[in-house]
Amino acid sequence: MKSSWYMLPASPKHKRRFMTLMATSLSGFGSGAASNPKFIDVLTDNSLTTNLEMCLDAGDASSYTSGQSWLDVSGNDIDFFRGADGSAASDDPTFNGSGYFSADGGDFFRHDTGNAAWMTALHRDNAVYSGAAWIYHDTGHSSQHLFFAATWGNQSNEGIAWTMGTTDKSQITVANGSGSSWAFDQASVSTMGTGWHFVGLSINEAGGGVSFHYVDGTDDAAFDAAYTSPGTGNATNTYEIWGAGGATLAPSGARMAVFAFWEGTALTAANFDTIYAATKGRFGL
């Protein structure tokens, strides 16, 4: 263990993080075998941590063992509450000891200290960002499955929503706060069936036709992600996983094991290929 952890300030958050690290070994998900590596180790070993803003991994004991927060292991302290705040309640996702969280139709995660500065840049002009997640999707749901969002269904808000629609395809929606929003749907990658899936998103707003969705080893046809009259204000709501403003919560049966996000870097299809190949064994793929 690096001695730098002993230098952490004695804030409640750092005390909680320190105790989590002290109480767990440095092994990865499960037995720590090569087939089940920690997600942050995969990113580090493959030089994919540039502009990495957050990395949540329910299979990494440094990210979660118990308690009310899913801890970021990127080093940036972008922790998320289970539910709306730090209190145990019915909106808390359920942790499964096998290394994932599950939803019952009324659960979500919320960033624990409002929006970080990088989050406010996602819906603005010249935005560049990427996301990656391991999710379990159950087909036939009748509501949106929001992966990461600050708004949904209200065009007067500002923010993005990365979601899976009822068509079982990945989608990115951006709201500009002026009564309009636009969506970039995943068109050519086949719909996701019931089971574990690796989903990725790469956005370069000013880059022309270079943005794309990624699912299970396949990158979608590239599209132009140019925003129309992009907003200039802050995101309306605090960013959430599995919700937006405490509403439009993940459908019952949804699961999530990993969520990571980069701001300032648009990952390539080859980058996602590397991550997928290194982590799919953990999910029996």
pTM of structure: 0.86
> What's the rounded Cα separation, in Å, for the pair 183 and 149?
13
Whether residue 220 is predicted with pLDDT greater than 90 in this model: the reply is: no
Distance (Å, rounded) from C-alpha 203 to C-alpha 227?
11
- Strands 218-219 vs 158-164: parallel, antiparallel or unpaired: unpaired
**Confidence band, pLDDT 50/70/90 cuts, at residue 140:** low
For residue 184, is pLDDT > 90? no
Look at residue 178 and tell me whether its pLDDT is greater than 90: no
Q: Read off the pLDDT of residues 2-55 as tens digits, 9 standing for 90 and up.
A: 333 333 344 445 434 434 433 333 333 344 445 689 999 999 999 999 999 999
Residue 222: DSSP 8-state: P
pLDDT at 90 over 50: yes
**How are beta strands 240-241 and 109-111 bridged, if at all?**
antiparallel
Position 66 scores a pLDDT of 96
108-118, pLDDT tens digit by residue?
999 999 999 99
Please tell me the distance from the alpha carbon of residue 71 to that of residue 13, in angstroms, as a whole number.
10
1-10, 57-66, 85-94, 244-253: which range is least confident on average?
A: 1-10
Query: Hey, CA dihedral for 102, 273, 120, 68, is it positive or negative?
Result: positive
Of all residues in the chain, the percent with pLDDT exceeding 70 is 80
Q: Which of residues 250 and 274 earns the better pLDDT score?
A: 274
**What type of residue sits at position 230?**
P
pLDDT bin (cut points 50, 70, 90) of residue 101 is very high
Average pLDDT, the chain: 84
**Element containing residue 15 per DSSP (H, E):** helix 12-23
Q: Kindly report, residue by residue over 233-268, the tens digit of the pLDDT.
A: 999 999 999 988 888 788 888 899 999 999 999 999
Q: How far apart are CA 148 and CA 244, in angstroms?
A: 8
The mean-pLDDT minimum among 6-20, 46-60, 95-109, 159-173 falls in 6-20
